[in-house]
Structures are given as C-alpha cells and as structure tokens.
A and B are shown apart, each in its own frame.
Chain A
Amino acid sequence: MFVSSSFMAFVYILTSVLFILSIRGLSSPKTARKANLLGIFAMFLVLAVTFFSPDMKDFVWPLIVLFLGAMLGSYMAIKVKMTALPQMVALFNGLGGLSAVFIALAEILHHQNTPIETSLGMIIGALAFSGSMIAFAKLQGLISPKALGFKYLHSLNLILAVALIGVCVAFCLNKNLSLFYILAALSLILGFLLVLPIGGADMPVIISVLNAYSGWAAVGIGFSLNNVLLIIVGAIVGASGAILSYIMVKAMNRSLWHVMSGGMNEKKEVSSQSVANHNQTAKVGSPEDAAFIMENSSKVIIVPGYGMAVAQAQHVLRTMAKDLAEKFGVEVKFAIHPVAGRMPGHMNVLLAEANVDSEDVFEMDAINHEFETADVAFVIGANDVTNPLAKTDASSPIFGMPVLEVGKAKTVFFVKRSLNSGYSGVDNPLFYADNTLMLYGDAKHVTEQIVAVLEQK
C-alpha cells in the first residue's frame, strides 16, 4: 500500500503549517509546551507517511537506523546538564550539517540531476559540521576557548574560498565525482579554520550562525531533491539562526564580520592602560553585611552571569530570593543581559531550572530603568555586562555594548572570586565605586552564607 503523491503534498502542507505554529507558540511560555508537542506530532506524521511512499522499497534498514538515532538523541537530551546545553546544541547543529553532506553524497552517486543545488547543500552542510565541531570542542573545554589563529589565516581562508568556488564550478560542468570529494574536503577544512579564531565570549554568536547554516543546508538539499518541505523548514530555521545571530551581535555591539575574524585581540593592549589608572581599593563586604542590607531594602535586583551557573549557585540563589521576598517582603527581580549565558536565552533556562518564576525575570531593556529605584543590585558571576566603561571609554574593547546599569542602585554587591577582569579582559571601575561592596568567594558558597544569615532570623 503506497500513498499517492497528492496525499504526500497534502501532508507536506500540513507539516509546514504545524512547524510554523510550533515556533509561533514560543512567543509565550504558556503556549510553548503545546506548540512543541504539535511540532513532534508533525514530525511523526511526515515520517510515517514517508515510509509508505513508493520510493521505500526497503524499509527495514532505514527503520533500524532511525531507531538507533532516536535512542542516541533522546539519551543525550535526557542526560545533558543545562549548563552544558550550548555544546549540545552546537553538536546537534554539526550533526544536521553532516547529515546534509551524506544526503548530498548519496544523491550525487544516485542521479546527478542537480549538481549545483546538491553542491551548495553539501558545502553549507560541511561548513556547519566542521565549524560546529570546533565550537563544541571549545565550549566543552577540549581545546582552548581563546581565539586561536596564525598570521596568514585570513589569507588562507580567502584562498580556500576561491578554490572552493573554482572546484564547485568545475564539478557542475563536468560532473567528475572525484571533484565532489575534493569539494567536500575543502569545505570541511574551511569550516574548521573559520571557527578556530573565534573567542569564547563570541560563542553565543557563532552557535547562532551555525544554527542558521544547518537550516540553509536543508534548503540546498531541498532544491537538490526537489522537495518543498525541506525548503520551507530550512528557510525558517535559517531565518531563526540569522535573527538570533543579529540579536547576539547587537547585544555585544560587534559586527558579524568582526566576530568572524576573531577581532577582540587587537584592542587588548589599550584596555590594560585603563586598569593601571586607578589607585583606589575596592571595599570588601561580608555575607552578614549583604544579608543585613538586603533584608532591610524594599527592592533588590539580582544580576546573574555565567559565573553563577559555573558555580552551580542558581538553586541557592533562588532560595535567597524567596527568603527575601517571603520573610522580609522585599521585591526581588532578576535582570538578564542577552549574552549572560553561553547561548541565546541560556540564563533564562538556568533560572527556570532552579524554579525561579519567569514573571520575576526581566530582559535588559525592560528592567534597566528600574536600577535607579532599586536599593540593591546583587551582581553574581557577571562582570562585563555591567561595566560602565562600555558607555564612556571609547578605547575599551567592549565600548558601545549595551550594559545593565547596576551602578544606579543605592548599593551594589559583586559576588566574585577575585578582582580579576571579565572574559573580555577589561577592568570594571564599578568595583571601586563608593556604593559598591565586594563579596569575595565562590558564588555558591557566598550565597549559602547569606541564606544562612537570613534564615536565622
């Protein structure tokens, strides 16, 4: 029993609509879960129908392999820690890209009807794969997250890109299979070299870019196989990755070009001068001071950064917020910078995991004006995203980056291991401000001490 091609087309339309609705549902946490189930349903539907298409002369092997992949994917998704989410997303982007490469190879060996489209799908897929592997290795700590590069890297990349286009044209003209393999190899190398010089702080951007690539690769494969559904879904994923890249780049006030060329190194020497300029010392507070000041305030804004997540302090931080709100009637809010985590929206997930009510969590633009009326800004594991130099010092590498204006609060607490500068290597003058108290130590340990004091009362 086979399904007719018009029934197939109907299912494709239905699937496209359901996928669009499943993303539309992410406009609010209330609708998001149902929307995700809609997406899962659509995927099952289209998979089931595909198994009944006339092309499926053998469905035993595909079914076995599908099952194995499903097991592995589900296992990884259930086991992954939320702090390790960025590297898993990077890995999945890469696998999607590699999948496109294999489909292109299978298609080329099979008919060779559409050499241009197939080549494009393969090139983008290969770039997504090798780029994602580097991003994964950096995020996982397998290789240094620093910007790695050598002198002629950009020239080499340019030569590779030109060679890539040349081989692609040659392949489309004479359809020689060995040229296709060379094309694949060149694309893989280029993907490696493109992501290698990108530093750890730019990872939110690069994950988004690679996400877009996996979408564009699907579009290429869709054109190659003449499949409308692949084109529609690929375009939506591509658009999503592109928009997220734009949001991340905006949040750091960088250009995509700058990120791709690993541009943070150039300015480092300038910024070290501003470090030497001040002779003030930072005032040190104790957890008891922090507890006393916060329980007597009317409004506390907590600013979490990635350092908070690394220390696994989110749960105890939530307890602190809850104690302040319930025992002392303090209004507690969380302020999130777009690049607070290692991928878009990462910090929101980490706080949600710790049971922080999403209604208490605010994006930067929504809360920045509230620091003026706040008694305390409690900055934990964040630094660069609060640095006022981003507004005033044109020589600073983070100049122009929108920041959370924590300095406007009556008292600012910084929970930090030491006075060391942040990821960007820039000193933060807020540490030495009159209304700032430093709470040195591990984020989790310090917060636990504060909670202990709060709960005695």
Chain B
Amino acid sequence: MDIWTLMTIFVLACFVGYFVVWGVTPALHSPLMSVSNAISGIVIIGALTLAGAENMDESKIFALLAVFLAAVNIFGGFVVSQRMLMMFKKKTSATQKENK
C-alpha cells in the first residue's frame, strides 16, 4: 500500500481513538491502560511473519525475541484487565444479593 493510503488510515484511526478513549469512565482508567498494553502487543503479527522465516539467522532470532515479549504483553495485559474488571463485577452482584 502506498504511504498516503497508510497515512490516511493512521490519521482516521487517531480520531477514532480520541473519541473512543474520552468515552471511557475515569473509574476504569487502570483497566484501559492494561487493555491498551495488551492490544499494543498486536506488533506480534509483524514479529510472527519475520519469525516464520525458513532459516535460523540473526533476523529470525530477533523476531523470535519480539514474539516472546509481545506475547508477555498480550497475555499479561488481558489477564490483569480481566482480573480488575472481575473486581468491579464482584461487588455489584454482592450488593444485589444483600438487597434481596
């Protein structure tokens, strides 16, 4: 794809990000950070295509390291987000029980 098509996509994505993120409630800013941590691990798909090369050379080793780090990011980010969000859940259901 030519650079200007990519540029267009980039600028539009910034706008989407801007509006979506302002809609996040301040109470969930910590999960927002860990979710964005996790999804920034999307670089893993770039790393994977380079790590999938046939020959084990320097390039492949660097790419494998990148896969490892991005995987830590993705799984760590999503798991800790889910942990946090479960805490926010727990107490609303707990109070519902108490009310009954």
Contacts and interface: CB of A to CB of B under 8 A. Distances in A.
B31 A76 contact: no
A353 B88 CA distance: 8
A99 B75 contact: no
B36 A240 contact: yes
> Which of B37, B49, B82 lies at the interface centre, i.e. has the most chain A CB atoms within 10 A of its CB?
B37
Given A27-B25, A222-B46, A345-B26, A55 B52 contact: yes
B43 A344 contact: no
Interface stretch (A28-36, A380-388, A436-444): A28-36
A221 interface: yes
Given A27-B25, A78-B79, A230 B32 contact: no
Interface in B13-60: 13-14, 16-18, 20-54, 56-60
Interface in A56-105: 56-59, 61-62, 65-74, 76-78, 80, 82, 85, 88-89, 92-93, 95-96, 98-100, 102-103, 105
A214 B37 contact: yes
Contacts of A66: 44, 48, 67-68, 71
A98 B31 CA distance: 22
B30 A346 contact: yes
Contacts of B81: 36
Contacts of B23: 24, 27
Contact of B37 (A46, A109, A211, A346): A211
A207 interface: yes
Contact of A19 (B39, B52, B63, B87): B39
Contact of B45 (A57, A229, A361): A229
Contacts of B92: 29-30, 357-359
Contact of A221 (B46, B58, B73, B91): B46
Tell me what chain B mostly uses at the interface: helix, strand, loop, or mixed: helix
A341 B75 CA distance: 24
A235 B10 contact: yes
A164 to B, nearest CB: 21
A103 B52 contact: no
B83 to A, nearest CB: 7
Contacts of A70: 71-72, 74-75
> Which of A47, A99, A211, A352 lies at the interface centre, i.e. has the most chain B CB atoms within 10 A of its CB?
A99
Contacts of A235: 10, 13-14, 16-17
B10 to A, nearest CB: 5
Given A231-B10, A345-B26, A80 B80 contact: yes
A62 B9 CA distance: 29
B51 A65 contact: yes
Contacts of B41: 43, 96, 99
Given A32-B28, A99-B43, A227-B46, A92 B77 contact: yes
A242 to B, nearest CB: 8
A95 B33 contact: no
A244 B74 CA distance: 20
A240 B17 contact: yes
A243 B29 CA distance: 11
A103 B36 contact: no
A428 interface: no
A22 B23 CA distance: 12
> Which of A36, A341, A344, A358 lies at the interface centre, i.e. has the most chain B CB atoms within 10 A of its CB?
A36
A73 to B, nearest CB: 3
Contact of B88 (A22, A215, A231, A352): A352
Given A23-B32, A61-B64, A243-B18, A99 B47 contact: yes
Nearest to A228: B9
B71 A73 contact: yes
Given A26-B25, A33-B89, A62-B48, A345 B32 contact: yes
B30 A344 contact: yes
A72 B18 contact: no
B27 A345 contact: yes
A18 to B, nearest CB: 10
Given A103-B66, A231-B9, A236-B17, A23 B35 contact: yes
23 contacts: A22-B35, A23-B20, A23-B21, A26-B32, A55-B49, A57-B52, A58-B53, A61-B64, A71-B75, A73-B77, A76-B72, A95-B69, A96-B40, A96-B43, A102-B63, A110-B50, A225-B49, A232-B13, A236-B21, A243-B22, A244-B21, A352-B87, A363-B27
Given A36-B82, A96-B73, 14 more contacts: A20-B16, A22-B39, A23-B35, A32-B85, A36-B78, A70-B74, A99-B69, A103-B50, A345-B27, A345-B33, A348-B28, A348-B30, A349-B30, A353-B87
Interface of A: 16, 19-20, 22-24, 26-30, 32-33, 36-37, 39-40, 43, 46-47, 50-51, 53, 55-59, 61-62, 65-74, 76-78, 80, 82, 85, 88-89, 92-93, 95-96, 98-100, 102-103, 105-107, 109-110, 207-208, 211, 214-215, 217-219, 221-223, 225-241, 243-244, 247, 338, 341, 343-346, 348-349, 352-353, 355-359, 361, 363
